[in-house]
Amino acid sequence: MRVLVAEDDENLRVAVEAALRGSGLAVDTAADLPDADEALAVNAYDCVVFDRMLPAGDALPYVERRRQAGWTVPVLFLTARDTVRDRIAGLAWADDYLVKPFAVPELVVRVRSLCRRSGLPTPSVLRWRDLELDVGAHEARRGGTGLRLTRKEFAVLERLVAAAGDTVGRAELIAAAWDELVPPASNVLDVLVTQLRRKLGPPPVLHTVRGAGYLLGDPAPPA
C-alpha cells in the first residue's frame, strides 16, 4: 500500500514518514500543494495525508475541487485547526480528520484503515493452497506453521498471494513495500524474494519470470 504525505513542517514530515514506513507502507512526501499535485498526477496512492495549511494555501479547497471531479482516494487531514466548524468543513470532503498534536501510533492506524478502503474490497484472510495470510493480524502460515516475516516481506507476499497464478511485475512489488526512490532495477527485491523463498520452505512456490517479475504458483513449462 502506498501513501502520500503533504506536510510543510520538515521534522513532522520526517517523523510521520518514518512511522508509516515502519508499519510496512510505501511513502512519498511533499512539502507543498504543487509538489503533492505533481505526485498525484504520476502515481497511484491508497491514501493521502494532507496538512491543511500549506505554503500555497489551505488544502481543503484543493481536495474539494478534486472530489467534485470524481477523485475517490481516501484523504486524512492532519491539522491544528480544531474547532467544530473546521472539523465539519474538513470531513465534508475528507475521510478522516486528526488534530495536532496527535499520537503517531494513532495516525498509523487511521492511515492503514483508510488504505484498506481504497480500491476493491479485499478479504482479511488470503489463502492459496497451504499458504494463509491474515492481513488484519499481519500473520502468515504455511501448512499451519507460522512464518516470521518482516513487514516488507509480508507486503510483497500479500501482493503475490492476491495475484496467485499470475506474474506480478517488479515495479508493482517494489511499490507494495518501498517507494518511488527504489528503481525497478534495484536488487533489494531480489534479496527479499530470496529470503521469502527460504522462509516459505519446500516445495518451492515462488518463481522468477525472467524479464517480467515473480509468480506464486507453478513455474511455466520450458519452451
Sheet strand arrangement including 206-209: 167-169, 213-216, 206-209
Is residue 101 domain-shared with residue 165, that is, in the same domain? no
Tell me if 190 is assigned to some domain.
Answer: yes
Tell me if 185 is assigned to some domain.
Answer: yes
Domain with residue 48: its CATH number is 3.40.50.2300
Is residue 131 domain-shared with residue 113, that is, in the same domain? no
d(CA 166, CA 168): 6
Is residue 101 domain-shared with residue 151, that is, in the same domain? no
Is residue 55 domain-shared with residue 29, that is, in the same domain? yes
Tell me if 221 is assigned to some domain.
Answer: no
Is residue 145 domain-shared with residue 79, that is, in the same domain? no
Nearest partner of 25 among 96, 98, 95, 115, judged by Cα = 115
Is residue 143 domain-shared with residue 108, that is, in the same domain? no
Tell me if 59 is assigned to some domain.
Answer: yes
Q: What pLDDT is attached to residue 118?
A: 62
- Residue that has been written with the C-alpha cell 518463481 in this structure: 207
- Last residue of some domain: 84, 117, 150? 117
Is residue 113 domain-shared with residue 131, that is, in the same domain? no
One-letter amino acid of 101: P
| Residues written for the chain | 223
Tell me if 222 is assigned to some domain.
Answer: no
Tell me if 105 is assigned to some domain.
Answer: yes
- Last residue of some domain: 63, 83, 117? 117
Alpha-carbon separation of residue 101 from 18, 86, 98, 120, 126 (angstroms)? 17, 16, 9, 33, 36
Q: What pLDDT is attached to residue 5?
A: 94
Tell me if 60 is assigned to some domain.
Answer: yes
Is residue 112 domain-shared with residue 130, that is, in the same domain? no
Which segments of the chain have a pLDDT < 50?
Answer: 120, 221-223
Read off the pTM: 0.56
**Domain count across the chain:** 2
DSSP string, the chain: -EEEEE-S-HHHHHHHHHHHHHTT-EEEEESSHHHHHHHHHH---SEEEEESEETTEEHHHHHHHHHHTT----EEEEES--SHHHHHHHHTT-SEEEESS--HHHHHHHHHHHHHHSSS---SEEEETTEEEETTTTEEEETTEEE---HHHHHHHHHHHHTTTSEEEHHHHHHHHS-TTS-TT-SHHHHHHHHHHHHH-SSP-EEEETTTEEEESSPPPP-
Longest alpha-carbon distance in the chain:
66
Is residue 104 domain-shared with residue 144, that is, in the same domain? no
Q: Identify whether the C-beta of residue 6 lies closer than 8 Å to the C-beta of residue 43.
A: no
Cell of 80: 491544528
Give me the domain span that covers residue 150.
125-216
Tell me if 92 is assigned to some domain.
Answer: yes
Is residue 199 domain-shared with residue 108, that is, in the same domain? no
Q: What pLDDT is attached to residue 4?
A: 93
Q: Is the peptide bond before 101 cis (omega within 30 degrees of 0)?
A: yes
Domain with residue 150: its CATH number is 1.10.10.10
Q: What pLDDT is attached to residue 37?
A: 92
* Angle at alpha carbon of residue 155, lines to 220 and 211, rounded to 5°: 35
Q: What pLDDT is attached to residue 143?
A: 92
